[in-house]
Structure 1
Amino acid sequence: MPKRLNADKRESDPVGLPLLQVYVARHCPNCEEARRLARLADSLFPTLTVHVIDLDESSADGVDVFAVPTYVLNGRVCFLGNPSEEELWERLGRLVESSAKMR
């Protein structure tokens, strides 16, 4: 079972849209790819809210993330490290589809 993120961050968008949070850091060599995937996800899934959170920023204080990049969907860690595009699109597609059915 995926770990629930213990952070002072919103676990869903205020209007109930699915939320993808991507945690990155400046020192991380793989985080530029994570930023790229986040931008693509934001453009490919218009009903998905995407936040990129830089752990080097003071606004990330108190976040319980131990590795970067970390991908969190609706408050649950779904990937440690970068997934392939196919894995990410499949997971996001299922989430967006199930979210649309619930509205």
Structure 2
Amino acid sequence: MNVLYVYISAGCPGCDRARQLIDEVQVLRPVYPVRLVDLDQPDAIRPAFVFGTPTYTLGERIISLGNPALQGLLDILDREADGHTGCRSVNNY
């Protein structure tokens, strides 16, 4: 199962909501691996394909630029957990 990475930064107006979404995901899908990456931290690694915040990724696939709807994000995580990793993104909802 790919880890859900959520990239945030201090100057990002949507990043407080991103933190809230991640908290909700961790309550509703506690077994799903989630990592919050604050790009302002000195040890943070920004993949070349991440060019804005918040950005949600699974593996090297961006699933949302900006904050998705909670249900759309949960649907993608459920499909990922079931082994169905199609190209659909949350932004398709």
TM surpasses 0.5: yes
Structure 1: stretches of 5+ with no match in the other structure: 1-16
| Distance in 2 of aligned mates of 1:83 and 1:62 | 20
What is the aligned counterpart of 2:80 among 85, 95, 102?
95
Q: CA 1:62 to 1:51, structure 2 compared with 1: closer, same or farther past 3 Å?
A: closer
User: Larger deviation: 61-70 or 19-28?
Assistant: 61-70
Name the % identity: 36
Q: Secondary structure at the match of 1:23?
A: strand
Deviation (angstroms), 1:26: 0.7
| Distance in 2 of aligned mates of 1:61 and 1:73 | 15
Runs of 4+ residues over 6 Å off in structure 1: none
Say what the alpha-carbon RMSD is for the aligned residues: 1.6
1:47–1:96 CA contact under 8 A, matched in 2: no
Tell me whether 1:42 sits opposite 2:21 in the alignment: no
Question: Number of matched residues?
Answer: 83
| Distance in 2 of aligned mates of 1:38 and 1:66 | 20
What is the aligned counterpart of 1:58 among 33, 39, 42?
42
Q: CA 1:50 to 1:31, structure 2 compared with 1: closer, same or farther past 3 Å?
A: same
2:4–2:56 CA contact under 8 A, matched in 1: yes
Deviation (angstroms), 1:75: 2.7
| Distance in 1 of aligned mates of 2:34 and 2:15 | 15
**Pair member with larger Rg:** 1
